[in-house]
Amino acid sequence: MGELFGPYELLAPLATGGMGQIYLARSSRAEGFQKLLVVKMMLAHHSRDEGFVQMFLDEARLAARLNHPNICHIFDLGDVAGTYYLAMEYVPGVDLRSLPKDCGEKGRPLPLPLTCRIIADAAAGLHYAHELTDDAGRPLGLVHRDISPSNVLVSFDGAVKLIDFGIAKATGRTTSTATGQLKGKFAYMSPEQAEGEPLDRRSDIYSLGLVFHELITGRRVLQRDSDTQTLKAARDAHIEPPSQLNPSLPSSIDQVLSRALAKSPGDRYATAQALVLAIEDWLLKGQKPASQSHLSGFLRELYPDHQERSRGPSRNATEDALASTLIRTPSSASFATGARASQSGAPPPRRPRALWGAMALLLGSAVGVAAIIGPKLKPEPPAPPPPPPAPVTHLLSVASEPTGASVKLDGALLGTTPLKVTLDAGTSGTLLLVGPGLVARTHQLRLEKDAELLFQLLRARVKVPIDSEPAGASVKLEGRELGKTPFVWETEPEHRCVLLFELEGYKPAELAVAAEEGSAFKATLEPLPAAPPSSDDSPFKTKGAR
């Protein structure tokens, strides 16, 4: 028998991350009733963080409204002796990050029609979420903001499930994102999301188009060597048609994707349902076999051990794994952590990548996937615990000039500068500082002791239109010519100076300017007065006269 945690029996650890642990579990609420599910527990120190708990509950309120076959279901939210948890649908299958790799290793490429089925079903789940309203019928304006291959699951039955609405934007959330703050994965951001601009449902459509493009071409569309370069690629949005990267693809699929991946939101599909219809029409015209049954058949052939994977680990593996991960929270509730597993000396059992990889996705964001608020259940009486080992942490202080920059560690938001945050010893990754009007800055972090970091952030250059009446004037700054009107002057923000305008036949003019984003300057030149005729030009003058 597995370890008891409240109303659930923990069968095996599936994944551990910086925010929580995920277990395969079994619910036995009534005589003879059993159900496999996934339980995610919040780490003890997060359970004591009011802000983190509020995000966790905020997400639960949102997810209480999500009930669609293409969205992962959440069954329960509660706490056991102060440890918050979510109980969610168990989806035996793979995510879109693992599926292409497995197809490549086995020499069985995913057929284009089945890829279309996956994207169409994911878009159907998105459309449902986008259309969600509150009890009064008012639109919630929900935007997922983190559509990526790791957040789309495909079960061995051919069902497609969206997960991880943890950073979704919606009306009524008590936690919100500041303007200019970036949330999501850079390689799957829409241009407007990469710019930190306000988002609507069309941003999710673009991100799903990127996933579609990647699946059928086998190439990462926007991924570059650094976060800064990837973010720039997302802003530029220069994407080649799929058939140019993969000549085996029909050019007709380019038409479906070109609209989903239009740089301007106004040129994209207005709704995810419109994308669904475009894909279905393409399948219908080509008479392509792409039903859920076809998808299931392909996956079951690709994974001959799918039944074994779906049943979960053996009892011996369960007992060994739980024994090696069991610790106690400060509130005396039993739960597990991968850190303790490594201390036990007994390595965790090897688990099939396709199954456990899919479950590990549910750790994706700071608050995991969405949860339904259910009644809190009385916890099982915990066994007397040993005192927990004190966690080893260090203080990270981050300051910037100017202040107010968003600080992210491997894509997860830590806060804004000036920032003080406590992190586990040995924490490493890429720090990214971004902010409106600032040039992004990266830093490789490895936290071995308390650290204080100070960054001088450069302001992004502004573009200012310069013109004159009449046009064609030469514009100079301190003797250096900037250009001839009209032109766009690129300079430092808040640059205050005096520009000199010169045009033949007109009086020179000076114009004091303060270069700011959105400003424009125009000088009006006065013509020179006409010169009076000289005596030398008299028609009565005798040639050679003195």
Give me the mean pLDDT over the 415-438 stretch: 87
Confidence class for position 186, pLDDT limits 50, 70, 90: confident
* For residue 174, pLDDT beyond 70: no
Q: What is the pLDDT of residue 53?
A: 77
Q: What is the pLDDT of residue 335?
A: 37
Reduced to 3 states (helix: H, G, I; strand: E, B; else coil), residue 102 is helix
* For residue 217, pLDDT beyond 60: yes
Long-range contact list for 48-56, CB < 8 A, 24+ apart? Answer: 48/330, 51/175, 52/366, 52/367, 53/84, 54/174, 54/175, 55/166, 55/175, 55/366, 55/367, 56/84, 56/367, 56/368, 56/371
Give me the mean pLDDT over the 197-220 stretch: 94
* For residue 125, pLDDT beyond 90: yes
Highest mean pLDDT among 363-377, 509-523, 527-541: 509-523
Asked if 56 and 397 touch (Cβ cutoff 8 Å), the reply is no
* For residue 509, pLDDT beyond 60: yes
Lowest average pLDDT, out of 35-44, 304-313, 501-510, goes to: 304-313
Q: What is the pLDDT of residue 515?
A: 82
* For residue 194, pLDDT beyond 70: yes
- Residues 258-292 have pLDDT tens digits of 999 999 999 999 999 999 999 999 999 988 889 99
Q: Please report, as a single letter, which amino acid is at residue 333.
A: A
Residue among 163, 144, 191 at smallest CA distance from 97: 163
Q: What is the pLDDT of residue 357?
A: 40
Give me the mean pLDDT over the 286-307 stretch: 91
Orientation of helix 353-360 relative to helix 98-105, angle to 10°: 160
Tokens of 410: 């491997």
Asked if 323 and 71 touch (Cβ cutoff 8 Å), the reply is no
Cα–Cα distance measured from residue 268 to residue 392, given in angstroms and rounded to the nearest whole number: 49
* For residue 48, pLDDT beyond 80: no
Highest mean pLDDT among 71-80, 117-126, 196-205: 117-126
Distances (CA, A) of 511 to 475, 499, 521, 527: 10, 5, 8, 17
Distances (CA, A) of 241 to 194, 219, 302, 415, 467: 21, 12, 29, 38, 39
Q: What is the pLDDT of residue 33?
A: 67
Highest mean pLDDT among 113-127, 159-173, 194-208, 392-406: 113-127
Q: What is the pLDDT of residue 540?
A: 47
Cα–Cα distance measured from residue 273 to residue 492, given in angstroms and rounded to the nearest whole number: 44
Cα–Cα distance measured from residue 46 to residue 330, given in angstroms and rounded to the nearest whole number: 12
In the annotation, is 49 catalytic?
no
Confidence class for position 140, pLDDT limits 50, 70, 90: confident
Q: What is the pLDDT of residue 29?
A: 64
Give me the mean pLDDT over the 505-525 stretch: 88
Lowest average pLDDT, out of 116-130, 132-146, 466-480, goes to: 132-146
Q: Which domains does the chain carry?
A: 1-92+312-385 (3.30.200.20), 93-303 (1.10.510.10), 393-456 (2.60.40.1120), 462-524 (2.60.40.1120)
Q: What is the pLDDT of residue 371?
A: 31
The per-residue pLDDT of the chain, averaged, comes to 78
Per-residue 3-state assignment (H helix, E strand, C coil) for 216-261:
HHCCCCCCCCCHHHHHHHHHHCCCCCHHHHCCCCCCHHHHHHHHHC
Q: Please report, as a single letter, which amino acid is at residue 347.
A: P
Tokens of 19: 């925010």
Residue among 436, 479, 486, 481 at smallest CA distance from 464: 486
Highest mean pLDDT among 128-142, 288-302, 521-535: 288-302
Q: What is the pLDDT of residue 534?
A: 60
Q: What is the pLDDT of residue 500?
A: 94
Active-site pick, 146, 204, 227, 320: 146
Give me the mean pLDDT over the 409-421 stretch: 88
- Residues 360-405 have pLDDT tens digits of 344 443 333 333 223 333 344 445 555 555 568 889 999 888 888 8
Asked if 540 and 522 touch (Cβ cutoff 8 Å), the reply is no
**Is residue 65 packed enough to be buried (19+ CB in 10 Å), middle (13-18) or exposed (0-12)?**
middle
Report the 10 Å Cβ neighbour count for 288.
15
Q: What is the pLDDT of residue 390?
A: 55
Lowest average pLDDT, out of 46-55, 104-113, 137-146, 414-423, goes to: 46-55
